[in-house]
Chain A
Amino acid sequence: MNDEQKIEKLKSMADPAAVAHPAPHRIFVGVEPGKLVALIGRMKAELDQWYVATISGVDKGESYEILYHFGDTSGSITVRTKIPKADPRLPSICGVIPGAVLYERELQDMFGIVVDGIPDPRPMLMPDDWPAGNFPLRKEWKFERPAEVIPGGKK
């Protein structure tokens, strides 16, 4: 089905004002975190969206914006949701799409978002001796590089 048919169906599943079509083959849909899993379930059943390309997290100052990028044979639909920084909790979509588990683990490592219901909550990317509570992709987290030692050279 092409873009117009998809937009029609999405307007019936979610808030019509939150559906955007900025470029050919690209559709963006906004949704509340509470209704996220239901919308994705409906998209999988009615629009045949079983493929999640990746899940991106963006630090927007007071809140995090999470984007779920789907893809199929005629373009890409992106579902976006916002969660507050003071209480970063997100429901997991692994019940609907099992392949999304690694992307949710990455969100946990990089931003400190807690994903409820994830089948495998271990940290994925950080080394074993990484101090807890440090989430690199938050905007306020800065890194000071330690001084370099030049062997046999000037200090």
Chain B
Amino acid sequence: MLERVIRWSRKKSPWILHLNSGACNACDIEVVAALTPRFDVERLGVLLKATPRHADVIVATGPVTRQLKDRIIRIYEQTPDPKFVIAVGACAMSGCVYRGAYNICGGLDQVIPVNVYIPGCPVRPDAILDGVVKLLNTL
């Protein structure tokens, strides 16, 4: 019984952590623009949290630079189970224009396991919402 309540609350109100791993900021502004009155993601219960220990879903943008690789793994381990990772943007999927650079690991799935990929450069805020909803429907 308690299990069902917990699963319902996790599905209806996910708390997200926004992680920027060396991106150009375009996807990050679109993630923040999702909170502003036009797209207003907070009416659906999604809260932007400041620390990994409170988050259910990690929303990550950007190609992974070498300096940040260890820190991303540490943040992933600090997030409590069950957790989901969403890779937002073409950079997090495969590196976008920066493929082949010496400081880039090339895509988020080389570092941590990813559940959902959202394409775009940059991603529209409605597409981010769509991706989060698709993830929650699989729960």
Contacts and interface: CB of A to CB of B under 8 A. Distances in A.
B107 A143 contact: no
Interface stretch (B31-39, B49-57, B98-106): B98-106
Contacts of B113: 151
B78 interface: no
B100 A148 contact: no
Interface string A114-155: 000000000000011110000010000001010011110000
Contacts of B107: 148
Interface residues of A, number: 11
Interface in B83-108: 99-103, 106-107
Contact of A148 (B65, B66, B110): B110
A20 B101 CA distance: 36
B86 to A, nearest CB: 15
Given A127-B66, A129-B66, A145 B106 contact: yes
A78 B67 CA distance: 34
Interface class of chain B by DSSP: loop
B106 A127 contact: no
B102 A136 contact: yes
Interface residues of B, number: 14
Interface string B103-137: 10011011001100000000000000000000000
A149 B113 CA distance: 12
Nearest to B102: A143
B110 A149 contact: yes
B103 A127 contact: yes
A127 B67 contact: yes
A32 B40 CA distance: 61
B109 A151 contact: yes
Contacts of B101: 143
Contacts of B100: 143, 145
B110 A127 contact: no
Given A148-B110, A151-B109, A128 B67 contact: yes
A151 B113 CA distance: 8
B73 to A, nearest CB: 14
Interface of A: 127-130, 136, 143, 145, 148-151
Closest 9 CB pairs of A and B: A127-B67, A143-B102, A127-B66, A151-B109, A145-B100, A136-B102, A148-B106, A149-B110, A151-B113
22 contacts: A127-B65, A127-B66, A127-B67, A127-B103, A128-B67, A129-B66, A130-B66, A136-B102, A143-B100, A143-B101, A143-B102, A145-B99, A145-B100, A145-B106, A148-B106, A148-B107, A148-B110, A149-B110, A150-B109, A151-B109, A151-B113, A151-B114
